Amino acid sequence: MQLSVNYHGFFDGQFGIAEATRVNAIAMENAGIKVNRINYSATTLERITNDAEKKLDAPVNIFHINSNVTYEFFSKNQDIRLSDYYNIVYWAWEFPEVSDKTAEFLNIFDELWVPSDFCVNIFTKYTGIPVIRFSHPIQKFNPSQEFDRNEYLIKPEAKIYITIFDSLSTTIRKNPEGTISAFLNIFENDSENILIVKTHNLERSKDAAKALEKYSGISNVIIINEHFSKGKLHSLIQQSDVLISLHGSEGFGLTLAEAMSYGKIVVGTGYSGNLDFMNVNNSFLVRYNLIKTSNTKGLIEEGLTLAKPDVSDAAEKLEYIKNNFSNLGKIRDNAEAHIRDHFSVETIGKLFEIRLSFISRLKKKESSGNNADTIFYLAEIDKLTRRVHYLEKTLYNKIRKKINIFLKKIKGKK
């Protein structure tokens, strides 16, 4: 009997979790698993109708959505059938801290899938359901010139360093300033070495725009704020020499693994999910200290743990790479081999097949189907709570405005 799953996710999205959803589905299909791709809008979280979805109704639901929108997702999609299904949620998370609300919701599902041991170690402290690592499969593309160096006036002989991030991911976590600072410490005014800061959604993030604006006039720092197709992004990676990520934390670190799959030199913070595939034999790991988030302007919670990479250590590693570039073939070979042997579509697809085969033999009464009403109940409670908080804040602001007007009138009479 063929294994099958209902895979709920943002299949059309142009961001990390959407890409991870697509490659996971590809790996399953490669292993002979029938995947019913149920697509949702990343903006509204509402289901995008597709008649093809009706052709398959699998006994397993997989929800590949961010943990911070899970409540809203189920509030907006109350027609999802959960009873008598085996329900799996797939989360990536970047912080050791998990809120009580998230943990409460998590425990309703049958099991949790995560992309790294870092995530396994986090969530096993908060739940008794199985927490299983399924790394993101890494797809390699054929060599391509879709990214055109001439378009950005990059000389053919120049070495290209890149850093890649979505501006809607918090700047404090992605830390592009640290990467640019480390690069300029070694390559300032060096036209033979170019840093490409590849981002998108910059116009939607004042925080990221402010962080990058000070570097816009530097001749060997190229800031690209565009939505690249996957093919063009991989073409950029293929044509680069070094990828740098001085992140505060990663649930996995997809672009780092993709760069390694092409045998590129990768420099990254020695912390979090990327340690599943980065080590001293295949990449350059940067030292760090742990800090707590503060003054986050509401972009993320305060008091969360992040790494603060040592920029001077990163600069030292870049200087070593500069001086020994032609002798780093072994590191490049090790990087390519490690991703090929452990993170290929075929390898991860087989792991999916093994686990889903086991699930298919479980008795239905062992699943969380009876908890379905609880999922939607908690989602509605959260929706109402957020609405009340919004109204309270709005009312407070109206009252404060009236008081300020009143005080100004009194002051004007004195």
Question: Hey, where are the domains in the chain?
Answer: 4-137+347-379, 149-343
- 4-137+347-379: CATH, from 3.40.1000, 3.40.50, 2.30.30, 3.30.1370: 3.40.50
Banded model confidence at residue 365, pLDDT cuts 50, 70, 90: very low
With H, G, I as helix, E, B as strand and everything else as coil, classify residue 299: coil
Quote the radius of gyration of the chain (alpha carbons, Å).
Answer: 24
Mean pLDDT of 190-208: 94
- C-alpha angle 95-332-234 in degrees, rounded to nearest 5: 65
8 Å CB contact between 58 and 6: yes
Q: What is the pLDDT of residue 408?
A: 65
Is the pLDDT assigned to residue 118 strictly greater than 60? yes
Query: How does 88-125 read in b/e, with b if 16+ C-beta sit within 10 Å?
Result: bbbbbbbbeebeebbeebbebbbbbbbbbebbbebbee
For 292: left if phi > 0, alpha if psi spans -120 to 50, otherwise beta; the answer is: beta
Return the minimum-mean-pLDDT range out of 88-92, 267-271, 355-359, 391-395: 391-395
Taking only the tens place, the pLDDT of each residue in 342-359 is 999 999 999 999 999 999
Q: What is the DSSP string of 92-158?
A: ----S---HHHHHHHTTSSEEEESSHHHHHHHTTT-SS-EEE-PPP---PPP---S-GGGGT--TT-
Taking only the tens place, the pLDDT of each residue in 8-33 is 999 998 888 999 999 999 999 999 99
Q: CA-CA distance, 229 to 19, in Å (whole number)?
A: 11
Which class is domain 149-343? Answer: alpha beta
| Angstrom distances, CA of residue 98 to CA of 61, 121, 122, 360 | 23, 12, 8, 30
What is the average pLDDT score of the chain?
89
Q: What is the pLDDT of residue 228?
A: 94
- C-alpha angle 73-364-372 in degrees, rounded to nearest 5: 25
Closest to 283 (Cα-Cα) out of 272, 274, 273, 292: 274
Taking only the tens place, the pLDDT of each residue in 210-225 is 999 999 889 999 999 9
Q: What is the pLDDT of residue 83?
A: 87
Q: What is the pLDDT of residue 98?
A: 94
Banded model confidence at residue 399, pLDDT cuts 50, 70, 90: low
- Is 4-137+347-379's fold the same as 149-343's? yes
With H, G, I as helix, E, B as strand and everything else as coil, classify residue 267: strand
